[in-house]
């Protein structure tokens, strides 16, 4: 926490109503609910979001600028990884300079010991998350194309930094759109910079449904962000949550649910390919396809006529009469189907330990977060398949999607033993999906 300088908070005004519970307070922090009225040099205007580990405030600095002020409470953070992610977000935002990424303003801490609170101030973006836009129905193709263009430009910037920066949690909730249509990418709490050639990032972060299969195992590269963008576009185009469209081995069955041009469908198909090598190699390549400069079939250059047709298609003019003929798509050889390598399979697919779900249901902290009726959310066998660690059959890990009446999450279970005794459970960690901020964690074995 040495990156966060300690800043004492002073509240010079007389009694003011708390921004959270509205009780009068003369202190920098409300004694009734704990919300801040003043943090460092920032005056708190209102609470934007309250999570398990802290709050997000709309605040104002001494110069009158409005900022988004993220607060995290040390006493409520379950492990050091949450603190590391918070510090990492601050360090990354310091380095990033892009007009569509909120600008870093300050980071500091208040208090000592278990009373420590960390703060991150960044540019406040006036806009609505695209998650809210889903309530109005699917986006039209023209809006989807513009959204894809803007986000691909942002990813092109992040991925060409040295080392490249991976966001790892692209989804509608993390894309803000201003009234003039400009898109901002927010929430870099899951972001990591990647040493060239290194893909394994050791931690499991992201949001189920939007992250690609390899990210479930802690592996990610630039194509992982492209996959998440593709799923986001599919969700916005269909209005259907991605986890409801999985089939087979986590393939996204979306084509019958959207009304889009064949060119945009082909682009989305490449973005959400299950195998990383079948996706676009970079954001720049995907952008070329989006703009009609290259065909989605493995980077084939598009003819000028085809480029013109793509533009007409985006305008809703899919066919025009020219010289007595109906001008539509030029005759081209059919695009080859992507070949798939045979997939290596485990000799066995160990089921989760019998006691894993019972332990989860018996844990009050897990029930408080997930709600009643906790069950596995394994719509496809691939999602609940055990994986051997380091090629040894005695150590198995399961990452199980679970759901209850309140929320959904991921339940990581480790077992040690053999097929004969069912790999008794040795560890259990529940991560519950959260709309904003860090995801709540519960150690199921210790049940705290």
Active site residues: 169
- Residue 87 neighbours by CB distance under 10 Å: 18
Let me know: does 402 contact 432? Beta carbons within 8 Å: no
**Paired tokens of 221:** 């590269």
Report CA Rg, the chain.
24
> If you search the block for the tokens 């870093």, which residue do you land on?
104
What residues does 110 pair with on adjacent strands?
117
Distance CA 434, CA 382 (A): 24
- Residue 346 neighbours by CB distance under 10 Å: 12
**Paired tokens of 420:** 């004969």
Largest CA distance in the chain: 81
Q: Which of 88, 89, 59, 76 is nearest to 115 (CA)?
A: 76
Let me know: does 243 contact 208? Beta carbons within 8 Å: yes
Three-state SS for 63-130 is CCCEEEEEEEEHHHCCCHHHHHHHHHHHHHHHHCCCCCCCCEEEEEEECCHHHCEEEEEEECCCCEEH
What residues does 301 pair with on adjacent strands?
294
Whole-number Cα distances in Å, 402 to 88, 296, 317, 405, 406: 28, 36, 46, 11, 11
**Paired tokens of 395:** 């150590």
Distance CA 23, CA 169 (A): 37
Cα four-point dihedral sign 243, 246, 250, 251 = negative
Q: Which of 225, 133, 221 is nearest to 185 (CA)?
A: 225
What residues does 25 pair with on adjacent strands?
16
- Residue 140 neighbours by CB distance under 10 Å: 12
Distance CA 374, CA 124 (A): 37
Distance CA 123, CA 103 (A): 5
DSSP class of residue 301 equals B
């Amino acid at each position: 926490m040495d990156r966060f300088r300690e800043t004492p908070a002073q509240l010079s005004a007389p009694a003011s109503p708390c921004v959270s519970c509205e009780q009068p307070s003369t202190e920098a922090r409300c004694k009734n609910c704990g919300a801040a009225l003043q943090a460092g040099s920032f005056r708190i205007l209102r609470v934007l979001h309250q999570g398990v580990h802290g709050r997000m405030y709309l605040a104002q600095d001494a110069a009158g600028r409005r900022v988004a002020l993220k607060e995290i409470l040390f006493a409520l953070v379950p492990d050091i990884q949450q603190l590391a992610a918070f510090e990492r977000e601050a360090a990354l935002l310091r380095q990033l300079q892009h007009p569509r990424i909120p600008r870093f303003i300050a980071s500091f801490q208040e208090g000592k010991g278990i009373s420590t609170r960390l703060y991150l101030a960044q540019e406040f973006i006036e806009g609505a998350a695209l998650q809210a836009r889903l309530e109005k129905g699917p986006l039209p193709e023209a809006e989807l194309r513009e959204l894809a263009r803007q986000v691909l430009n942002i990813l092109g910037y992040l991925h060409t930094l040295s080392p490249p920066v991976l966001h790892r949690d692209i989804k509608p909730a993390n894309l803000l759109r201003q009234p003039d249509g400009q898109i901002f990418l927010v929430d870099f709490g899951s972001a990591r910079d990647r040493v060239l050639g290194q893909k394994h990032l050791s931690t499991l972060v992201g949001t189920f449904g939007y992250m690609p299969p390899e990210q479930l195992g802690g592996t990610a590269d630039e194509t992982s962000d492209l996959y998440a963008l593709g799923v986001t576009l599919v969700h916005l185009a269909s209005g259907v949550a991605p986890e409801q469209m999985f089939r087979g081995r986590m393939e996204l069955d979306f084509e019958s649910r959207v009304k889009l041009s064949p060119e945009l469908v082909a682009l989305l198909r490449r973005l959400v390919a299950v195998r990383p090598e079948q996706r676009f190699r970079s954001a720049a390549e995907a952008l070329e396809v989006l703009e009609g400069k290259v065909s989605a079939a493995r980077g084939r250059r598009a003819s000028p006529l085809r480029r013109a047709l793509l533009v007409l298609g985006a305008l809703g003019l899919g066919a025009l009469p020219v010289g007595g003929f109906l001008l539509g798509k030029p005759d081209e050889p059919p695009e080859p189907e992507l070949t798939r390598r045979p997939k290596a399979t485990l000799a066995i697919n160990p089921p989760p330990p019998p006691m894993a779900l019972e332990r989860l249901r018996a844990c009050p902290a897990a029930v408080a977060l997930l709600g009643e009726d906790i069950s596995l959310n394994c719509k496809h066998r691939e999602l609940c398949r055990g994986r051997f660690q380091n090629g040894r059959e005695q150590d198995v890990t399961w990452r199980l999607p679970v759901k209850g009446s309140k929320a959904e999450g991921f339940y990581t279970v480790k077992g040690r033993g053999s097929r004969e005794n069912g790999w008794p459970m040795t560890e259990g960690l529940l991560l519950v999906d959260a709309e904003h901020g860090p995801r709540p964690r519960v150690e199921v074995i210790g049940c705290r």
